[in-house]
Amino acid sequence: MSERVDNLTFYQDLADLMNNNPDQYETLGEVDFTLGVVMADEVGSDLRLRLRFEELGCTDVSPLPEGGESSCDCWLEGDIDSWGEMFNDITTNGRATGRHTVNSLTLVGDRIDVRGDDPMGVDRFFRFNQTIQQFFDGAAELAPAPA
Amino acid sequence: MALATEESIRELPEMTPMGNPLDWSWLRGSKAEWGMKPTPGRRGLTMMDIATGAYGEVLDDPPYRSMAPRGADIDPETPDMGYILNHKSQVWADNVIELYEEAVARQWSSTRDIPWNELQELPPDIEHAMCQLCTVLTEIEMIATDLPAKWMWRMNHHFLEAKMFLSTQIMDEARHSDVFRKRALANGGGLLLSRSEPESLLRSILEAKTYTQASALLHLLGEGFILDVFRQGELIAPTHVEKKIFRLSMQDEARHVAYGTMHIRQAIAGDPDVADEIHEALDHGEQFLIEFGTSPVLSSALAVLLGGGSEHVEDKGFPMQSLLATKIFTSYLARCERAGLNRIDRTDLPLDLLGIDLDAFDRTGV
């Protein structure tokens, strides 16, 4: 799994999974939230992307230029290894566990942090947190079945 | 749809068969706003969709003080209901309609949506600490139902959406009291100690002299703090069951904080002198919050959970608690800034002790 997390298509796959299963998100309610994701790698070819959540789906997954994350309500920023660990935990356990949930990671903030230019935008991350967690937990369903 | 004609109305009876007078003037429609016909979006017909024309015009100083619905043809003799919050800036927030719809869409049930039968047996110290945390939370959450209830009947009905949002807050907080009470009992533990420290903070909120002071104490200070306690609760939750409880509660709490932040902003914009009364309330409230946040019962329970057991309170629990305290108060001060309230230069909070470096303070709070 960790080899895919720095690829935009992985997030499009997560979005497709969400969009194809609105019933799983219906009880959580509609969302209006634009989340940036910044994955830093050692050679400087960071991945920046925008995830637009509307109603019960993820309606846009698109790359962002450097600094483009400021156009989002807030963004999650961390190194690729940390993102890889988070997704490995999800695929291993079927959902994020322990300190690998997006809330836990960003609360401690030493590996993946939540940032934003406006506290009101950052608060949206908390207002829609269960939906965002469920979106990332979708990685468990995308993982190849064990041999 | 055409209005009824004067001629067709004239043909209607003036009295009921019982001899009571009839008024057919409503059949002519309402002044200029008849036929607005808002279009539902994909999620349905929202309060934002119908906030058009006079229906969406929220006046700074509404002319009436009755329950007459905004946008209707209101009888000039409509009675005064005794409202005391009659100016928009006293109750409104620019995000309140959006927050109301969000709250309605994201309601959840502690009975149905928490997988109670998946709770796991925990080490005794962890179970006791979780039960103690839940005891504190079930005690304090009802303040956020009592406080809006105390003020809502004093709010001019013209600000209907603000009252509707506060109604959702009341439901949210009832659910929080419910879910933490259930968690304390559901895994073979129970309610533990209720000490006096929270009560000073709760009383200061209830006894605030104005709604805006109360909102600053409740939404900005108290619920901002509890939002971060819920975030900690999710971090230290021993199983996915508790994680879901804290995440869903966190979502609710964040809406209340979002309302409070923007309400305080609106209140200060409407009357800059209000800032002084808010500062005065927060001067006291922050001290009560420190007393509550450092209370022996709450801080020891959190230390056990953050440390992963009583044997790690000193090497893991307390250091983590200290790190999170920095985050909690940084977020609070940043929200105050966003609300138009400079607390940094005024607060008596022990910023050094809390690890907040004023030179490096990031006003976004994250």
Instruction: Quote the ipTM score.
Output: 0.94
Which residues of chain A lie closer than 8 angstroms to B327, CB-CB? Answer: 107, 109
- The dihedral region occupied by A112, where left means phi > 0, alpha psi between -120 and 50, and beta the remainder, is beta
Mean pLDDT taken over chain A: 93
Under a CB-based contact definition with an 8 Å cutoff, are residues A26 and A123 in contact? no
Q: Is the dihedral of CA B185, A97, B176, B130 positive or negative?
A: positive
- Shortest distance between the Cα of B231 and any Cα of chain A, in A, equals 7
Under a CB-based contact definition with an 8 Å cutoff, are residues B102 and B174 in contact? no
Contact A109 B261 (CB under 8 A): no
pTM of the model: 0.94
Which residues of chain A lie closer than 8 angstroms to B240, CB-CB? Answer: 95, 97
**Averaged pLDDT, A83-112:** 96
Phi, psi values for residue A54, rounded to 5°: -135, 140
Which residues of chain B lie closer than 8 angstroms to A24, CB-CB? Answer: none
Pairing of strands A112-115, A31-40: unpaired
State the greatest distance between any 2 C-alpha atoms of chain B, in Å, as a whole number: 87
Which residues of chain B lie closer than 8 angstroms to A77, CB-CB? Answer: none
Contact B258 A120 (CB under 8 A): yes
Contact B247 A104 (CB under 8 A): no
Q: Which of A74-83, B247-256, B352-361 has the lowest mean pLDDT?
A: B352-361
B283-331 pLDDT, tens digit each: 999 999 998 888 899 999 999 999 999 999 999 999 999 999 998 999 9
The verdict on A26 touching B (C-beta cutoff 8 Å) is: no
Restricting to A residues 107-126, those with a Cβ less than 8 Å away from any Cβ of B are: 107-109, 113-120, 122-124, 126
Contact A29 B232 (CB under 8 A): no
B200-231 pLDDT, tens digit each: 888 888 999 999 999 999 999 999 999 999 99
